[in-house]
Chains A and B, each alone.
Chain A
Amino acid sequence: MKCLSDLQIQAFIDNESNRLEKSIHRNHFNRCPECRRRLQQYQVLEKALATPVFCEPPASIIKNVTAGLYLARPPYLSISVLLAASFMLLISWIHIYFDLASNSLVKTLQSTSTKTFSWFFDVLQLTGKLFSFVQAGFKIIRHLAEQIPFILGYSGKMPLLLTLAILLSLVLMQQYKSRKTKENAK
C-alpha cells in the first residue's frame, strides 16, 4: 500500500476518517515505519499544541477597562447631582410663575397640612426665598455689568475721576468730622 498523506494521518488523529479507513490506516501504521514515525510526530505536535504557552496579561487591562466603564456609565453621585440640578431648574421655573416665597396657596397648604407633609412646603418656601435672594443678587450683578461700558468709556479720564472721588471723600470726611464735633458739644 502507498504511504499515507499528511492529511490522512491528521484525519486519523482527529478521528475524522470513517471506521473502514481507520482500520486500513491502523494496519498500515503497523507495517510502515515511515508512516508510524510521522504519526508519532503529529501526536507529539498535537500534544504540544494542546498546551499553549500563555503570557500573563498586565493587570492594567482590567483596571483601565473599569475606569473606561465609569465614563460610559456615570456613578450614582453624578446621577444624583443631575437629578438635583433638574429639580432646581424645575423649581426655578415654577418660582418664576408662582413666586413660592409669598404665594398664598403655598402658605395655605403649609398651615393646613399635617406635620408629615408640612416640611415639604417649608422646603418650597425656603427654596422660593433662596431664589428671590439669588434673583436680587443677579439683578445687582446685571446693573453693575451695565455700568462697565460707562466706566470703560471714561477710562481715558481716569485721573479726573480719581481726583473727583478723592475730593468727594474729603468733603464727606469733613462733614463727618463736623457732625462728630457738634455731637460732642451737645
Chain B
Amino acid sequence: MQMDDDQRLIKAILAGSRSSFEELMQMYNKKIFNFILRMVRNQETAVELTQDFFLKIYTNLEKYNFQYKFSTWAYRICYNLVLDHIRKQRGLTCSLDDDSVSPQELVQAEHFTKDSGFSLMAAEEIRLLLWEAVDQLPLKFRELILMRFMQELKYEEIAEITGLPVGTVKNRIFKAKEFLRAEMENHEMLI
C-alpha cells in the first residue's frame, strides 16, 4: 500500500515519536484553527477546541484506518467536535439539516455593515470583504464553504465528513455562492 506523508508521520507517532506528532500538529494547526474559528466565531473557544481536537486525534490514532485519507478522518473528528460544541451552546438539533432556505431569504436574514463610497474594489479588498461575508453565512452553508475552500476538500470528501449526499453538498455550496455574489453585488463590490 502506497503511504502519503501524513500516513508516514502517523506510523512514526504510533511507534512512539513525539516529534512526529508535533510535525503533524504544525501541518494542520493553521487550517484547523481557522476552520474552527470561523465556525464558532470566538477566539478562546477556537483555541480550546483546536487543543481538544489534537488531543482527540492523538488518543484515537490507533483507530485510524490506513486505507483512507488521514485528512478526511481528521476533518470528520474536527467537524463533529465543533458541531457538538455548537449544539451544546445553542441547543439546536434539526435546523442544521433544513435545506429550504433561499439565498434571498439569507440576504434578508443576515445583514452586515454596508460601506458605501466605492464601486470597483481592489482584488485584496474583495477577498477580505468576501471572507467577512462568509462569516455571516448560516452555519450549514458556512461549514461547507470552509471545507471546500479553506480545507480544500472535494465534494465527495465533504459528503463523507458531513454525512450529507454529494448532491446536497453541491447544492448548498452553490446556494452559498449565490448568496455571496448577491451580497457582494448589493454592496457594490462586484460590477
**Contact at A45–B177, with CB atoms within 8 Å?**
yes
- For B123, the chain A residues whose CB sits under 8 A away are 44, 47-48
Q: Residue of B at shortest CB range from A57?
A: B33
Contact, CB under 8 Å: B131 / A58: no
Contacts of A10 in B (CB 8 A): 174, 177-178
**Binary interface profile of B, 3-47, with partner A (CB < 8 Å = 1, else 0)?**
000000000000000100110011001110110010000000001
- Would you call B34 and A62 a contact (CB within 8 A)? no
A51 part of interface (Cβ distance < 8 Å): yes
Q: Which residues of A contact B184 (CB under 8 A)?
A: 41, 45
Residue from B33, B34, B58, B145 in contact with A49 in the complex, judged by beta carbons closer than 8 Å: B145
Query: Could you give 13 example pairs across A and B, Cβ below 8 Å?
Result: A6-B181, A42-B181, A45-B184, A48-B127, A49-B145, A52-B131, A54-B30, A54-B31, A61-B51, A62-B54, A65-B51, A66-B18, A72-B55
What is the CA–CA distance of A58 and B34 in the complex, to the nearest angstrom?
11
Pairs of residues from A and B, 4 with the lowest C-beta to C-beta distance, nearest first? A57-B33, A53-B131, A48-B127, A65-B54
Shortest Cβ gap from B148 to chain A (Å):
8
Is A181 located at the chain interface by the 8 A CB criterion?
A: no
**A61: which B residues are within 8 A, CB to CB?**
25, 29, 33, 47, 50-51, 54
Interface string of B106-125 (1 = CB under 8 A from A): 00000000000000000100
Chain B residue numbers with a CB within 8 Å of A123 are none
Which residue of A10, A45, A48 has the most chain B CB atoms within 10 A of its CB atom? A48
Given that A48-B123, A69-B58 are contacting pairs, would A41 and B181 also be in contact in the complex, using a CB cutoff of 8 Å?
Answer: yes
Q: Does A64 touch B at the CB level, under 8 Å?
A: yes
Which residues on the B side are within 8 Å of A55 (C-beta)?
33-34, 37
A7 interface contact, C-beta 8 A: yes
Residues of A within 8 A of B (CB): 6-7, 10-11, 16, 38, 41-42, 44-58, 60-62, 64-66, 68-69, 72
CA separation between A11 and B171, bound complex, in Å? 10
Interface residue B77 (Cβ < 8 Å from any Cβ of A): no
- A33 smallest CB distance to B (angstroms): 13
Contact A45 B181 (CB under 8 A): yes
Q: Find chain B residues with CB under 8 A from A68 CB.
A: 51, 55
A62-B29 in contact given A53-B131, A57-B50 (Cβ < 8 Å): yes
